[in-house]
Amino acid sequence: MFKRSDPDSRQSLHIFVDGAAVEAREGDTVSAALLACGRDVRRSTAVSGAPRLPYCMMGVCFDCLVTIDGVGNRQGCLVPVAEGMQIEIQKGKREIGR
């Protein structure tokens, strides 16, 4: 859906999306890195299981909710990526104990 425009001289780094290594750039938010990586990163909602992707990218819609380093329901559009960050795409309702 999105590509990186040239030139982008920022340092590249790696995050893990459901265990798979994905390249990102320093200064990307988690949501930006996910939208740029080309993988299917749709979450599914807690209410009906409908698939969603980020909508507003500015911290108001909460459609970018994602699990980051074990903490669920973080707003991916507000969190910058860091080397080695573990991202899990949320599917459906939250499970007890997580």
Partner 1 sequence: MNAIPRRDSYDVAVIGAGPAGLAAAATAVEAGLSTLLLDENAGPGGQVWRAIASTPVTKRDHLGADYWAGADLVEAVRSSGAEIIQRATVWSLDRNLEVGISVGGVSAFVRARRVILATGALERPFPIPGWTLPGVMTAGAAQTLLKSSGLVPDRRTVLAGQGPLLWLLAAQILRLGGRIDRILDTTERSNYLAALPHAFAFVTSPYFAKGLAMMREMRAKVPVVTGVTELVAGGDGQLATVTYAAGRRRETIPAELLLLHQGVVPNVNLAMAAGIEHRWDDRQLCWSPVLDHDGNTSVAGIAIAGDGAGIGGAAAAIVRGRIAARAAVEALAPAAATKLAPMATFRASLARAERGRAFLDTLFRPAPRFRIPSGETIVCRCEEVTARDILDAVAIGATGPNQLKAYRRTGMGPCQGRLCGLTVTELMAQARGKTPQEIGYYRLRAPVKPITLAELASMPKTEADVSAVVRG
Name the site residues for partner 1 (rule: CB under 8 A): 1-10, 25, 27-29, 32-33, 35-36, 42, 45, 47-48, 50-63, 65, 71, 73, 77-78, 80
Q: Minimum CB separation from partner 1 for residue 13, in Å?
A: 13
Residue whose CB is less far from partner 1, 22 or 35: 35
Tokens describing residue 34: 């996910």
Q: Minimum CB separation from partner 1 for residue 56, in Å?
A: 5
Could you give the residue ranges of the DSSP H alpha helices within 15-79?
30-36
Distance between CA 97 and CA 74 in Å, rounded?
16
> Do residues 26 and 81 make contact, with C-beta atoms less than 8 angstroms apart?
yes
